A and B are shown apart, each in its own frame.
Chain A
Amino acid sequence: MDENLHKGHRERIRKAYLERGMDSMPDHAVLELLLTYAIPRRDVNDTAHLLLNRFGSLNNVLSADPRELMQTEGVGQSAAVFLHMLFDAHRRLNLQTMQNANGKVRLETPQDACRYALALSASDRNETLRVISLDASMTVLHDDVLEVGTPTNVHFEPRRVVETALLHNARYLILTHNHPSNILVPSSDDVKTAKMIQEIASKLEIDVRDQLILTKNAAYSYQYDRVFFFSTPAICHAMSLEEYCDTICAPRTKSKLS
């Protein structure tokens, strides 16, 4: 009897999705529908609520590490992998929409670079330093993770940045690292490090074109001293750091500026 009730429930959610679309569904219903494809023959409503309570939002659930997801009651390896795979698939699609007809990505503007870097770093939990190697037309040759640090810090050797650039025969570099704290303010060390790398790399005719600092949906370009905030992956708002702190961030971030 219970089984029949649950089966009917799943069909009702599917029907709601088909008739009214995902935008009409609350997060817990979306998550519940997703879980039905990973957890057969069990009521997954409680699990959906547990996940949302624990991680705070649908985005946080899907971007969470599968091992963290599995710590929630009712979520096994299969469901955890399924949920995280959706996030990774979305991330890959975002990157693919930036490819031209030849399958190459050109990062001519800071907006392009920020969009690309955000898609690359979407699931980074710790500070992660990436180097994007580019040719003379700012077409991406390769992107490499150089170091993964802690939630608050990442150390690296400038020598490895130069080695990576030479390996890919790069003309330009864009350095990126994320701030898992979501505070989008470059530290003095960030700036000093980028200048040091520029100094070394320029002797080899390699230019550091930008250093990007990333949070979940915004990136700060040191070169242009501007924040590019993405309200969706496709829509970018350009603003100053102060404006970003005033309008988007918590006030505590602003105090970091002074």
Chain B
Amino acid sequence: MQAKCICRVPDINNWTIIHITGRDRVIRCSQCRQIWHSYGSYTKELTEDLVSPYEWRHLIRTQEYHKGDYEIEGEPESYLDPAFESRFEGETE
């Protein structure tokens, strides 16, 4: 079984892996955008149900999530972000 987020959307278990170093893992549920962290002596594979996250820590809820703590390459980026700046603007030669 693949990991399920607490959003419990049936049959949707899509994760974006934001950061993996050694035993540290930061993942985000693609459905509800919640971010989870596993670390320390446990290296949780994405095969565990996250409903009772003993080792997976929900970073937003525990307010321990700081952007600068990880190389968050996969931080949610939205095409609808008001600050969206198109890279397609400009000269076409």
Which A residues form the contact surface with B (CB < 8 A)?
97, 107-113, 115, 137-138, 172, 192, 194-199, 207-211, 222-226, 234-240
Contacts and interface: CB of A to CB of B under 8 A. Distances in A.
**Contact count band on B:** 20 to 34
Nearest to A226: B73
Contacts of A225: 87
Interface string B73-91: 1101111100010111111
B89 A234 contact: no
A224 B76 CA distance: 11
A108 B78 contact: yes
Nearest to B10: A97
18 contacts: A108-B80, A111-B16, A138-B80, A192-B92, A195-B88, A196-B92, A198-B86, A207-B86, A208-B88, A210-B79, A222-B88, A223-B87, A235-B15, A236-B15, A236-B17, A237-B16, A237-B74, A238-B74
Nearest to A99: B12
Contacts of B79: 107-110, 113, 138, 172, 209-210, 223
A198 B88 contact: yes
B34 interface: no
Given A109-B79, A138-B79, A236-B30, A115 B14 contact: yes
Q: Which 10 A-B pairs have the closest CB atoms?
A: A238-B74, A198-B88, A195-B92, A236-B16, A209-B79, A238-B73, A196-B92, A234-B14, A237-B17, A208-B88
Contacts of A210: 79
B11 interface: yes
B17 A235 contact: yes
A137 B80 contact: yes
A109 B86 CA distance: 14
Interface of B: 2, 11-18, 30, 46, 73-74, 76-80, 84, 86-93
Contact of B46 (A110, A235, A238, A240): A235
Contacts of B93: 192
Main secondary structure of the interface of B (DSSP, over half): loop
A138 B73 CA distance: 22
Contacts of A110: 77, 79
Nearest to B18: A238
Contact of B15 (A207, A222, A234): A234
Contacts of B13: 234
A240 B71 CA distance: 12
A222 B80 contact: no
B44 to A, nearest CB: 14
A225 B88 CA distance: 12
A168 to B, nearest CB: 17
Nearest to B87: A223
Nearest to A175: B88
A195 B77 CA distance: 21
Given A111-B16, A209-B84, A236-B74, 17 more contacts: A97-B11, A97-B14, A107-B79, A109-B30, A109-B78, A115-B30, A138-B80, A192-B92, A194-B88, A198-B86, A198-B89, A226-B73, A234-B15, A235-B14, A235-B16, A236-B17, A237-B17
Contacts of B89: 195, 198
B86 A111 contact: no
Contacts of B76: 109
A227 to B, nearest CB: 10
